[in-house]
Amino acid sequence: MQQEEQVDLHLIVEVQKGNKQAFDALVLKYQYKVFKLVARYISDPSEVLDVTQETFIKAYKALDNFRGDSSFYTWLYRIAVNTAKNHLIARGRRLPESEYEISEIEQFLSKRDVKEYSTPERTLICDEMEHMLFDIIDDLPSDLRTAILLREIEGLTYEEISEVMGCPVGTVRSRIFRAREAIEKKIDPYMNKEAGGGLD
């Protein structure tokens, strides 16, 4: 991660010197991540594309003010979220409660050490758990939901989440702890049930 941030910083310095190709490299590196992030707020693919493009335009114009106090992605993340929210507000739409992709839920599950097996029964169990996680995450208060997704899905550090959410690191740790506790509380009975049977 440290090396990636150094590469980003080098590219940013180049952009600030007037090298537009360096910014193209940053766009190529992060465009898919930004697209996926924006798609959580906006469902129309053409609008997602527009907002993604607008995010990078705003980032390019503001890059002279970037001082490296946070990672480039944390900085870009904030711009993307604000741009997506402003897009919805401008069109009189409500922000969605959540829009998660199955691949992201699988990533989350893998962090919880849930192993997939190739049998149809195990595939069905994993499908059921994905749906369960959708429901559990949807039911979390927005502050807990945002914190756990930034940590588990986006892989941000506590310090980066603190910057994105505008709250102290201690509050971030508390929110993530409470989110994990809530998820575990609802998943554990199911996991215990699976562990206690099914291998006749």
Task: Identify the burial level of 154 via C-beta atoms within 10 angstroms of its C-beta, where 0-12 means exposed, 13-18 middle and 19 or more buried.
Answer: middle
Among 3.90.550.10, 3.30.300.130, 1.10.10.10, 1.10.10.1150, name the CATH number for the domain at 102-195: 1.10.10.10
Structure tokens at 109: 């599950």
Instruction: Please write the tens of the pLDDT for every residue from 24-45.
Output: 999 988 888 888 888 878 878 8
d(CA 162, CA 156): 10
Highest mean pLDDT, choosing among 53-62, 102-111, 143-152? 53-62
For residues 75-100, one letter each, b for 16 or more C-beta atoms within 10 angstroms of the residue's C-beta and e for the rest, the string is bbbbbbbebbeebbeeeeeeeeebeb
- State the pTM of this model: 0.52
d(CA 72, CA 74): 6
Please report, for the chain, the start and end positions of each structural domain, with discontinuous segments joined by +: 2-90, 102-195
d(CA 82, CA 74): 12
Instruction: Please write the tens of the pLDDT for every residue from 143-197.
Output: 888 888 788 767 788 888 898 888 999 999 999 889 888 877 877 666 555 545 4
**Torsion of the alpha carbons at 175, 178, 179 and 185, rounded to the nearest 10:** 180
Look at the alpha carbons of 102, 107, 113, 118 in this order and tell me if their dihedral is positive or negative.
Answer: positive
2-90: CATH number:
1.10.1740.10
Residue with tokens 């409660």: 97
Number of neighbouring beta carbons within 10 Å of residue 166: 8
CB 37 within 8 A of CB 79: no
Predicted local distance difference test score (pLDDT) of residue 72: 86
Predicted local distance difference test score (pLDDT) of residue 146: 83
Binning pLDDT at 50, 70 and 90, where does residue 134 land?
low
Radius of gyration of the chain (CA): 19
